[in-house]
Amino acid sequence: MMLIDPHAHMISRTTDDYQAMADAGIVALIEPAFWLGQPRTFVGTYVDYLSTIVGWERFRAGQFGIRHYCTVGLNSKEANNEELAEGVMDWLPRFALKEGVVAIGEIGYDEQTALEDKYFRLQLELASELKLPVMIHTPHRDKKRGTSRSMDVCEEHGLDPGMVIVDHNNEETVAETLQRGFWAGFSIYPSTKMGNARMVEILRQYGGDRIIVDSACDWGISDCLGVAKTAQLALERGIPKETVRMVCYQNALDAYGQSGQMKEDDWLEPPTIDQRTLFEGNSILRGGREPHIETPSDRLLKNLLIE
């Protein structure tokens, strides 16, 4: 089964991870702009980070036959540094139309401060103006209220819920997110976010409509095979194959494809210019062949549970 990981901070991951993801069936992934584990103190380092995720990281993924997309935005944590935030906001429009930018994100709230609110709203306006989807990071703390508030603010700014992916949902937030018409992302991330056994139960209860599974793997203790392991576990536990295909592939493509920057042809029938440049040195996707997916590796099948 072809898989998409629509939330993966690959800048923090090794080539082993890329290889494992490719072997597990990941054909495309999305790298949301976020913080790096510690705050940046210069606007320039933020600009170079954005430049890296539209450039070098894209190329790196291509070497493993994986199509790399990204979202650009000012994250909620660094929105609290006003001087940095103002500088980043000046540069953002220049990155929003780069090739492979599929959304403004991940944006939203962390501690729900006034500055976070200010820059969240400014970026929602930017997304509306550029007709780009939005990826929302919902807070770890005061999560339920923070999630509701994020959706309130989107509605207040006139955004179509169908253009907004609310990420990091859990059992407590999913009903409201779906009921209000937003896409519901789930990050299979050990300890702090979702486990995959819990995820399977959510799929059993809600089906696959508008639900999106991602790994959110980053520089912390996390698992780049979050999507693949969830797909495997869901199939083993009797979730219909079509539901698994929707939440681990199709829904992410439909949601972020609204940017016009992400199409199935990108990995099934890549333009010749991309074959020459982005997939250079890699034979997996050349010639528009069906991606070659190896039998599941030990890395996938051992430790299948993410808790």
Contact residues: other proteins, CB under 8 A? 47-48, 50-51, 54-56, 58-59, 91, 93-100, 260, 271-274, 276-278, 280-281
Give me the residue label for tokens 């937003």.
182
- What's the distance, CA 158 to chain centroid? 23
Q: Which is nearer to other proteins, 97 or 175 (CB)?
A: 97
**DSSP β-ladder status, 183-187 and 211-214:** parallel
Q: How far is the CB of 124 from other proteins (least distance, A)?
A: 20
The span from the CA of 137 to the CA of 219, in Å, is: 17
Q: How far is the CB of 73 from other proteins (least distance, A)?
A: 15
Q: Which is nearer to other proteins, 96 or 203 (CB)?
A: 96
Q: How far is the CB of 158 from other proteins (least distance, A)?
A: 23
Q: Which is nearer to other proteins, 260 or 287 (CB)?
A: 260
Q: How far is the CB of 118 from other proteins (least distance, A)?
A: 24
CA within 13 Å, CB half, 272? 0
Q: Which two tokens stand for residue 70?
A: 């990204």
Core vs surface per residue 273-301: b (16+ CB within 10 A) or e? ebbeebbeebebbeeeeeeebeebeebbe
DSSP codes of every residue in 257-294 = GGGSS--THHHHS--HHHHHHTTTT--SSGGGPPPP-P
- What's the distance, CA 183 to chain centroid? 12
Q: Which is nearer to other proteins, 14 or 303 (CB)?
A: 14
Q: Which two tokens stand for residue 250?
A: 């199709």
Q: How far is the CB of 98 from other proteins (least distance, A)?
A: 4
Q: How far is the CB of 86 from other proteins (least distance, A)?
A: 18
Q: Which is nearer to other proteins, 53 or 306 (CB)?
A: 53
Q: Which is nearer to other proteins, 243 or 259 (CB)?
A: 259
